[in-house]
Amino acid sequence: MALARLTLASGRSVDLAELRFSSTYGDLLSTYGDLLEGYPCKPVNDLRIRELLRAAERSHPGTPVHLVPPPREHPDQYAGGLGPVEVLPAVACLGTFHSAALDPARDPVLYRSRLAVVWFQSAPHLPSGCDTERALRDIDWTGLARDARALA
């Protein structure tokens, strides 16, 4: 049973089978509440995104992984040695989505298309209906997902 069903902008219906939330900066914080690498900035954010993508690839071998490019805020704060302050949304999400097979010749009982998606949002909530981030609804499913055996 799916956690949620989304209708993409293309009209394709996809099921959210698994969702993991994590704090965008939680594991980068020391016990004193400071970022271990300094402060939220482009190099730190790019590192965090790479870590999330690697984790998605490790936990879903054989499933393509896609990053929904996150919004990046640039508050008017002092820029340190790593460049200007750059803040990502507070919650990092890793979702596994399934849908009907891409190849209509495949047996619809035995095959489903799959895609693991990493995205960011301001609060931990299930994507659903009109509350779904626009960038998440705009995913190019046919260009990114891959068919696989449903029971694999």
For the CA atoms of 52, 45, 125, 12, what is the dihedral angle to 10 degrees?
-60
The Cα–Cα gap between 88 and 42 comes to 9
**Segment holding 54, helix H or strand E:** helix 42-59
Task: Give the pLDDT confidence of 64-78 residue by residue, as tens digits.
Answer: 999 999 999 888 887
Give the pTM.
0.88
User: How do residues 22-40 score in pLDDT, each as one tens digit?
Assistant: 999 876 554 444 455 567 8
